[in-house]
């Protein structure tokens, strides 16, 4: 069973995308708001019924219903409002996520935890420390969302099919995210061979800023994160061993320890099967290091 804690727009979309991919025969939506997960489950089930997809979505306000879950997605917490940064949510969401993880330990201690709550990197750190799980079983969805945005900008700039685009975004899921044009391509052709440095710099900057634009226009980002969550779950459930950018706890990788940040990793049935260490150039290292310092500073401000 897959459990998604937080039945708001992102949690609901994550359940819908996961069901459309047939990632489990049962998906549980959990939320403290009475009626919300139940109503969301009903709505999704109606869509699945017409589609002929035999995945059952259930809604609950009782943590004990997640017993036996293999994967638990943590979306619970406050979302960004227009004008807010992800770090503005730090203190309030830290307490919420800590409480959620204590319940995961109680009812689903064999599960893989996928944090989504912002600020993503510090929340992943909380999930790892509070759960006491092996680090391969706790990894956050941040880079997958940033990646989807970078790919769209590459598509718009080149006019080439989205299917042919490969891209990578690592680092902090925030102001210091690190899109990597050197490790991005279109049908194997390096992005740096297709676009000018000025154009690439524009794409990178747009990738960093577009979330705030979406939030300004419609109030929240929903479909891209929901899809990103289901892509990660798919790689776990089906043992795809895909290289995906996820937030994970570093223990010497990239020269850092006791911090969580986005890096490329092989994702399979055991969660993080392998962390891939890229040979970053000086400019890339500078931005990556800024992200590390930002996350470490945030971690130092919360009690675990």
Q: How far is CA 173 from CA 54, 179, 251, 262, in A?
A: 35, 11, 19, 7
Judge whether 126 and 97 are in contact, CB under 8 Å: yes
Judge whether 166 and 147 are in contact, CB under 8 Å: no
Catalytic residue among 46, 155, 173, 223: 173
Neighbours of 144 (CB within 10 A): 25
**55 contact partners, CB below 8 Å, separation of at least 6:** 18, 19, 22, 24, 25, 26, 27, 48
The answer to whether residue 173 is catalytic is yes
Q: How far is CA 118 from CA 98, 102, 222, 240, in A?
A: 13, 18, 13, 27
Q: How far apart are CA 144 and CA 167, in angstroms?
A: 10
E strand intervals along the chain: 2-5, 26-30, 56-60, 71-74, 112-115, 165-166, 169-171, 177-179, 185-186, 189-190, 242-251, 257-268, 271-275
Backbone φ, ψ for residue 178 (5° rounding): -125, 85
Element (H, E) at 277: none
Q: How far apart are CA 57 and CA 282, in angstroms?
A: 48
- Please choose, from the candidates 79, 116, 70, the residue with its C-alpha nearest in 3D space to the C-alpha of residue 246: 116
Task: Please give the positions annotated as active site.
Answer: 173
């Amino acid at each position: 069973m897959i459990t998604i804690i937080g039945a708001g727009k992102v949690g609901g979309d994550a359940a819908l995308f996961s069901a459309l991919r047939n990632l489990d025969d049962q998906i549980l939506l959990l939320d403290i708001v009475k009626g919300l997960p139940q109503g969301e489950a009903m709505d999704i089930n109606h869509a699945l019924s017409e589609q002929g997809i035999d995945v059952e979505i259930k809604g609950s306000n009782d943590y004990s219903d997640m017993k036996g879950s293999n994967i638990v997605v943590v979306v619970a917490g406050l979302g960004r409002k227009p004008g807010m940064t992800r770090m503005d949510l730090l203190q309030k969401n830290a307490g919420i996520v800590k409480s959620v993880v204590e319940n995961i330990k109680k009812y689903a201690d064999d599960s893989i935890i996928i944090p989504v709550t912002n600020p993503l990197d510090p929340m992943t750190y909380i999930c790892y420390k509070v759960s006491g799980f092996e680090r391969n079983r706790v990894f956050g969805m941040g880079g997958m969302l940033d990646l989807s945005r970078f790919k769209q900008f590459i598509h718009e700039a080149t006019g080439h099919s989205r299917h042919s685009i490969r891209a990578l975004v690592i680092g902090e899921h925030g102001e210091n995210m690190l899109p990597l044009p050197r490790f991005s391509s279109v049908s194997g052709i390096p992005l740096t061979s297709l676009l000018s440095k000025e154009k690439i710099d524009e794409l990178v900057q747009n990738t960093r800023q577009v979330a705030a634009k979406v939030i300004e226009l419609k109030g929240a980002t929903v479909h891209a994160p929901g899809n990103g969550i289901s892509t990660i779950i798919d790689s776990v459930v089906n043992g795809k061993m895909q290289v995906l950018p996820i937030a994970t706890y570093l223990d010497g990788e990239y020269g850092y320890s006791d911090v969580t940040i986005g890096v490329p990793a092989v994702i399979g049935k055991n969660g993080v099967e392998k962390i891939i260490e890229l040979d970053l150039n000086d400019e890339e290292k500078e931005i990556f290091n800024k992200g590390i310092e930002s996350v470490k500073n945030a971690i130092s401000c919360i009690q675990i």
